[in-house]
């Protein structure tokens, strides 16, 4: 081996040391994640490691991920179209089920055009660089989802102003100070780790007053809130040419993929230029067909939303009576603040021993010192199961404090 080869071998070893040392520090900080392989479909019970766990960690809020009608729609499309879309939508991957799905989504969400992406994350990465440039200032809520943050990073707008979570006074001040040619306000509709709803009416009126456009990520509102489950934006009664809304299929619709809806003028341009639409394989036809069926279920079956709401009230009351620090929520997401990373992991272990699975959320998914149990409900849970969760959590909470 020559000197060059020796040096690069040394370099490789040093690099490996850097990664493993960082990983060890990560583990010491109590941040290691160890995903468990799930051995069956989503539902109130999940089969894990040969055990059946009562689960409150899925985003399948309406219980459609394993719905027989949604599965049948996927099977039928599978037989007709096979598995893969074969190419990106702009080449030859734009399937008839995708065209049909886009039409139905636009109709459901009462918007001029719907554009399907293969995931919500990819949608943000694709659209934001088209919408924002050096002449744009972006105003972003401090608790926005990682995909919005990364979309902004990729877009590299002239200026980014992060306003404190939900702080409309700070936002108004920043808008007033802005000298940018174009302005975008970006926000989650329902915040993914807190379960609260953005003050959308205030945001819309601020946007109008300051000539800003609004991008709302409604991953956790779509299906759950509003008439026909149209989401937080419809629930707040917002309409307008200057509003774009993203919905993801992997949450309440129970499938996978995402949709952006808005006015034709801007949507037509995004369909030409969003790079994750151009350079990523289209959503498989079977997922488009399954999602179409899920949309029909969401629209028709308001009892699922009613049930979710009813269970949510029961959970909130139960946790409060037990003296547990639950954040108020009218959505499917009910966080219980633990604060410390180790504490939340101890709660997680205690609950797992009792046969319960709740998501333990730590930084960087949430700010430092706000580790939490993120309880999510689905329309398939029973009140009895909710009561079991409250009782187990009360016991584990005492045992770990």
Any catalytic annotation for residue 251?
yes
The strands making up 258-262's β-sheet, listed across from edge to edge, are: 113-117, 258-262, 243-248, 212-217, 182-188, 136-141, 159-163
Indicate which single residue of 113, 129, 145, 270 sits in contact with ligand PLP (rule: CB under 6 A).
Answer: 145
CB nearer to ligand PLP: pick between 253 and 289: 253
> Tokens in use for 343?
């504490």
Residue 147 in the binding site for ligand PLP (CB under 6 A): yes
8 Å CB contact between 277 and 88: yes
Q: Please, what is the minimum distance in Å from the beta carbon of residue 145 to ligand PLP?
A: 4
Residue 374 in the binding site for ligand PLP (CB under 6 A): no
Distance CA 273, CA 292 (A): 25
Q: Of 145, 251, 277, 381, which one is the catalytic site residue?
A: 251
Residue 219 in the binding site for ligand PLP (CB under 6 A): yes
Any catalytic annotation for residue 280?
no
8 Å CB contact between 331 and 140: no
The piece of 160-168, 217-225, 236-244, 342-350 that touches ligand PLP (CB under 6 A) is 217-225
Indicate which single residue of 258, 294, 332, 338 sits in contact with ligand PLP (rule: CB under 6 A).
Answer: 258
The piece of 100-108, 117-125, 280-288, 318-326 that touches ligand PLP (CB under 6 A) is 117-125
Residues forming beta bridges with residue 258, ordered by sequence position: 117, 248
Indicate which single residue of 220, 277, 305, 362 sits in contact with ligand PLP (rule: CB under 6 A).
Answer: 220
8 Å CB contact between 296 and 50: no
CB nearer to ligand PLP: pick between 119 and 140: 119
Phi-psi group of 43: left, alpha or beta (phi > 0 → left; psi -120 to 50 → alpha; rest → beta): left
Indicate which single residue of 119, 232, 280, 341 sits in contact with ligand PLP (rule: CB under 6 A).
Answer: 119
8 Å CB contact between 196 and 227: no
Distance CA 272, CA 278 (A): 8
For ligand PLP, the binding residues (CB under 6 A) are: 119-121, 145, 147, 188, 192, 217, 219-220, 248, 250, 258
Please identify every residue annotated as catalytic. Answer: 192, 220, 251
């Amino acid at each position: 081996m020559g000197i060059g080869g020796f040096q690069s071998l040394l370099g490789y070893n040093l690099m490996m040391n850097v990664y493993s040392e960082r990983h060890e520090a990560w583990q010491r900080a109590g941040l290691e994640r160890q995903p468990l392989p799930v051995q069956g479909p989503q539902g109130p019970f999940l089969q894990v490691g040969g055990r059946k766990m009562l689960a409150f960690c899925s985003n399948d809020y309406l219980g459609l991920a394993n719905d027989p009608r949604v599965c049948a729609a996927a099977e039928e499309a599978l037989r007709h179209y096979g598995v893969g879309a074969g190419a990106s939508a702009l080449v030859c991957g734009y399937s008839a089920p995708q065209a049909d799905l886009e039409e139905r989504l636009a109709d459901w969400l009462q918007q001029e055009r719907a554009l399907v992406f293969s995931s919500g994350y990819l949608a943000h990465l694709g659209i934001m660089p088209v919408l924002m440039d050096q002449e744009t200032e972006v105003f972003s809520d401090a608790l926005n989802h990682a995909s919005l943050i990364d979309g902004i990073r990729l877009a590299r707008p002239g200026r980014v102003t992060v306003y404190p979570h939900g702080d409309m006074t700070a936002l108004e001040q920043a808008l007033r100070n802005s000298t940018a040619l174009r302005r975008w306000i970006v926000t989650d509709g329902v915040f993914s780790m807190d379960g609260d709803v953005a003050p959308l009416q205030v945001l819309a009126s601020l946007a109008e007053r300051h000539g800003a456009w609004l991008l709302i990520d409604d991953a956790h509102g779509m299906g759950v809130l509003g008439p026909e489950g149209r989401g937080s934006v419809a629930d707040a009664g917002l309409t307008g040419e200057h509003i774009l809304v993203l919905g993801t299929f992997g949450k309440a619709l129970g499938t996978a993929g995402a949709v952006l809806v808005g006015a034709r003028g801007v949507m037509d341009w995004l369909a030409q230029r969003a790079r994750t639409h151009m350079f990523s394989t289209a959503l498989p036809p079977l997922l488009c067909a399954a999602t179409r069926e899920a949309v029909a279920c969401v629209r028709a079956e308001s009892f699922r939303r009613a049930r979710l709401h009813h269970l949510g009230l029961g959970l909130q009351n139960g946790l409060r009576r037990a003296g547990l620090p639950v954040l108020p929520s009218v959505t499917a997401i009910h966080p219980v603040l633990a604060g410390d990373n180790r504490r939340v992991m101890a709660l997680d272990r205690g609950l797992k021993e009792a046969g319960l699975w709740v998501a333990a959320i730590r930084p960087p998914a949430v700010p430092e010192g706000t580790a939490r149990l993120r309880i999510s409900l689905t329309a398939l849970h029973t009140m009895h199961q909710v009561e079991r969760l409250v009782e187990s959590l009360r016991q584990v909470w005492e045992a770990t404090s």
